[in-house]
Structure 1
Amino acid sequence: MTVIGRRRLLGLAAGAAVLGGAPRWAQGQPSGTAPLSALGTDPPEPGIKLRFWTTERGADRVTVIRYLLDVQAAFAGQPPVVIETVAEEDVVARLRAAHDPASRIPIPHLVNTGADTLLALDTLGLLSRDGHRVVQTLGDATFETGALAALRRPDGRLAAIPFHGWPQIVWARRDWLADSLGQPVPQTVDALRRAAHRLHDPAAGRRGIILGTTGDFYTQQCFMMIARAYGAGTVGPDGAPQLDTPAMVAALEAYADLARAAGPGALTWRARDYYLQGRAAFLVYSTFLMDDLAVPAVAQDSLTGAHFPDLDGAPFDPLLVEKTAPIATLGGAAPGAIGAFSSINGLGLTGVGDPAERLAARSLALFLFRRDAYIAWLHMAPGGMIPLVRGILETDAFMRDRLGVFRAFGRDVTRRFGAALRVPSTASTVVAEAAGRPYADPRAGLLYAERVLGRMVARVLAGETAPRAAARAAQAEARALLE
């Protein structure tokens, strides 16, 4: 993989936490317990203690992970796995430090974190080919294509194993579209722009759309969904930035037009409150919104008047799920382009230890793709962890999360979220005809981590500069950053 400046590369981890969230076994595999031989490997030798790093840091999630890893250790006749939680922004520096001969930090066998952080680790030579071997054992056909692209190096090898992800969604008030406009849910950028402006009614206290306007990571996520609909990308097949292309300028113009239907004020992810209080027609937000829409206790923080002066608070609307239509992808404004954005989480194998340890690490990774273990992991965050393994969305076990989130939306709607993850659309994904098969370039992730796109968008929305001039400035900034 092409090596970029190491100081710059450390910046990848700074934005990876946002990519991963604020952040299920192959089709036909029966649930329940099965011998490791059925998972494509032999049982590891007894007495091996594995170390597992994860950026899942909530106590409830760590409890679930602890349980799953203890089950696997007992099942394989091994000592308990040592779990260490690490902040995503610290993963790269900490693993580099662990490799220092004088370090007392034990090197982990597995690292569970966001795709962009895993790409950074791979570029620094801190991941082994064992992750690719596990994917070969499971088979490429096991995974959604967009998930594979998020961790595919330019040479075709996978840097790590895709695990779960979330897609960006445009949440739409289908009832307002039908009752006020007499039209279906928009499926293209142009149709979305028209509908957002027609439903924007400041006199009635209703905003046409909620999206990011401040230049933060949320702004970048919203904008990249629109940019990809225009066929715009951040870097090309040669790794050079391409932020001043006609497609990028057109995307900026479209985003600025959408923002005019968003109303005044600085809008961050917190502005989801407008949608949950019935004061916005559209909301650009990830599938992490699902439990807010479905579960009153989860939604409470967005139903107060504490966050925005023009919101007084509202009761939970139990019918909002039915009134909402999720738009997982937008029809391209350019031929063949698809408007989408996603974040992928993965498992990296470091290759530390002797052959028996490496085998044990691969066995643990395979265990986490057993259907029962996989679903248990994903149910830690219903909506925030969408399966990347094909067929899992079709199982009744997956639909029965403890909060009833997936049942509230139904299988047909939930399928759309899985379908969105088939589209190569992470911050680091390079999709170009000249590139052939989509892959991930850490230089694109670096531009995201440094918020180059966010500043470009913010300059336009603030009226500081026109889209074309903002794109040229961003291109110059990106070139300097990647030197």
Structure 2
Amino acid sequence: MRTTIASFLAIVWVVIIGCSTAGAQSQITFWTTEVEQDRLETQKEIARAFTQKTGIDLRVVPVQENLLTQRITAAYAARSLPDVVFHPIDFTIGWAEAGILDNKSATEVVNHLGKDTFSAGPLTLAQVPKGYAAVPADGWGQLLLYRKDLFEKKGLPVPERWDHILQAAKALHNPPLMWGFEAATDPGQTYTQQVFEHIALSNGVRLIGPSGKVTLDTPQMVETLEFYKALTRFTPPGNLYWLHTRLDYLTGRAAMIIWSPFILDELSGLRRDQPVVPDIAKGEPGFLARNTGFVTIIRGKKGAAQYGQINYLGITRDANKATAKKWVEFLLTDGYLQWLGMAPEGKLPMRKGTRDKPNCFIDGWMGLEFGVTTRAKISKFYGMDVVKAIIAGVDGFDRWGFAKGKGALISKIYGTKIIPEILKRFLDGELNAKQAARMMDERVKALEDS
């Protein structure tokens, strides 16, 4: 009798354990840095659709981007990482090297969806031995915005080359009514790193040289520093960052700025909380949008480049790998256009289409509406030529170090902001160009060794 009871209890216990394990495996957690309320609601809608299709519960957890590394570090130590984390390229390779991300799962997703369905550039930046550290989700390429109407009046060429940029900045400079070019100068802002890195890449400045070592003390870097300082002659005094440059362009006080595509909805006048002064002055809604030109690739003396910021979906070490892969694949297929639609001006599709429909996500993105107070298609304000130019740049997005496997070092550079700090000292006259290049080289090498 006792044996029978014991056997029965054992069977019940196995069933209980099996049920609890199945329950645990049927729910996964997704950390996202898209924390705005409207975007959270969209992500929860996508999650509900995923649950309805698969039976797997998905918990969407918002995490502020500036707290993401801290939260990930704590979760890693506690072995409680989320199943999937949406994050910028700045962390991808470093997290893979630290064992936070599961390269094998990400690579399996890419191969299952089809490597050729993704843009080549974003895959290259996330490449690790035997595959990829994470799966590309969305991104944007930095743009040089310029006043087409003012350029045409002065007969100025498109500012896609260094000499043309300086020529136009000098010709249009009329402070305080109009600043010829607003360069980023705030040493405490990531924006300054982004703008300066774009200019440096355009002159062939690479973080890693042919020897595989940090190589910033080069003639190309000296040229870049001197060019950047020349630009600041046409820039307002003080420490400028994204808020200043955006405000001055939207109020008609800047002839050229470098910004992300997230400015497109404000520029078009679709936000009531951000008046576009030239539109008001002319009495023509959309005037500034129609009279803004966009340069994607800047050409220096020794190169050409467009800075790109890419966001990835990382499957972590602690994930339920099978269900996490299903979520990533769903998000990049059934839920993809809804995801991109949260902010299409700054969420370019890194997955172009499916095997059967190679361009379906690009075509779908072009039909998405942007804006907050009022919504409209991007092509309505800027034309299909601009839209196609923006999307065409994805394959060529460039960044320091990632393609050379130096993502962990990049994370340190961005975290410490040593490049903007030294740049500011140079701009203030504390250092000459050669001294600044040498100091950048030394400080970055010290970071790599730390």
TM-score, normalising length: structure 2: 0.84
Q: 1:379 aligns with which of 333, 336, 341?
A: 341
Alignment map for 1:161-240 (pairs within 5 Å): 161-180=135-154, 182-202=155-175, 205-215=177-187, 216-236=189-209, 240=213
Looking at structure 1, the residues matched to 272 and 321 of structure 2 have their Cα atoms a distance apart, in angstroms, of 41
Task: Establish whether residue 61 from structure 1 lines up as the match of residue 35 from structure 2.
Answer: no
Q: Which residue of structure 2 lines up, in the alignment, with residue 395 of structure 1?
A: 363
Q: Which residue of structure 1 lines up, in the alignment, with residue 131 of structure 2?
A: 157
Q: Which residue of structure 2 lines up, in the alignment, with residue 300 of structure 1?
A: 274
Q: 1:392 deviation in Å?
A: 5.0
Q: 1:61 deviation in Å?
A: 1.0
Distance 1:350 1:245, change over 3 A: same
Q: Which residue of structure 1 lines up, in the alignment, with residue 110 of structure 2?
A: 135
Q: Which residue of structure 1 lines up, in the alignment, with residue 120 of structure 2?
A: 145
Letter in 1 for 2:296: A
Q: Deviations over 1:132-182 (max 9, x none)?
A: 1111112222222221122123x36211001101111000111111112x1
TM-score, normalising length: structure 1: 0.79
Q: 1:88 deviation in Å?
A: 2.7
Task: Establish whether residue 329 from structure 1 lines up as the match of residue 297 from structure 2.
Answer: yes
- Aligned pair count? 412
Letter in 1 for 2:199: I
Q: 1:452 deviation in Å?
A: 1.7
Distance 1:156 1:258, change over 3 A: farther
Looking at structure 2, the residues matched to 393 and 323 of structure 1 have their Cα atoms a distance apart, in angstroms, of 29
Contact 1:235 1:444 in 2 (8 A): no
Looking at structure 2, the residues matched to 475 and 339 of structure 1 have their Cα atoms a distance apart, in angstroms, of 21
Q: 1:74 aligns with which of 52, 55, 59?
A: 52
* Larger-gyration structure (1/2): 2
Contact 1:296 1:316 in 2 (8 A): no
Q: Deviations over 1:267-302 (max 9, x none)?
A: 211122111111111111111111111134256177
Distance 1:150 1:314, change over 3 A: farther
Contact 2:198 2:306 in 1 (8 A): yes
Q: Which residue of structure 1 lines up, in the alignment, with residue 378 of structure 2?
A: 406
Q: Which residue of structure 1 lines up, in the alignment, with residue 7 of structure 2?
A: none
Q: 1:448 aligns with which of 408, 411, 414?
A: 414
3-state SS of 1:284 partner: strand
Looking at structure 1, the residues matched to 170 and 361 of structure 2 have their Cα atoms a distance apart, in angstroms, of 35
Q: 1:249 deviation in Å?
A: 1.0
Contact 1:152 1:159 in 2 (8 A): yes
Task: Establish whether residue 126 from structure 1 lines up as the match of residue 139 from structure 2.
Answer: no
Letter in 1 for 2:316: T
Letter in 1 for 2:126: L
Q: Which residue of structure 2 lines up, in the alignment, with residue 358 of structure 1?
A: 321
Task: Establish whether residue 340 from structure 1 lines up as the match of residue 313 from structure 2.
Answer: no
Structure 2 residue runs of 5 or longer lacking an equivalent are: 1-21, 353-358
Q: 1:421 deviation in Å?
A: 2.1
Letter in 2 for 1:214: D
3-state SS of 2:271 partner: helix
Q: Between the two proteins, what is the percent identity of the paired residues?
A: 29
Q: 1:428 deviation in Å?
A: 4.0
Q: 1:235 deviation in Å?
A: 3.1
3-state SS of 2:312 partner: strand
Distance 1:63 1:316, change over 3 A: farther
Q: 1:85 deviation in Å?
A: 1.7
Q: 1:321 deviation in Å?
A: 1.0
Alignment map for 1:8-27 (pairs within 5 Å): none
Letter in 1 for 2:367: M
Looking at structure 2, the residues matched to 424 and 60 of structure 1 have their Cα atoms a distance apart, in angstroms, of 29
Question: Which one scores higher on RCO, CA 8 angstroms, separation ≥ 6?
Answer: 1
Looking at structure 2, the residues matched to 298 and 113 of structure 1 have their Cα atoms a distance apart, in angstroms, of 30
Structure showing the higher helix proportion among its residues? 2
Q: 1:183 deviation in Å?
A: 3.0
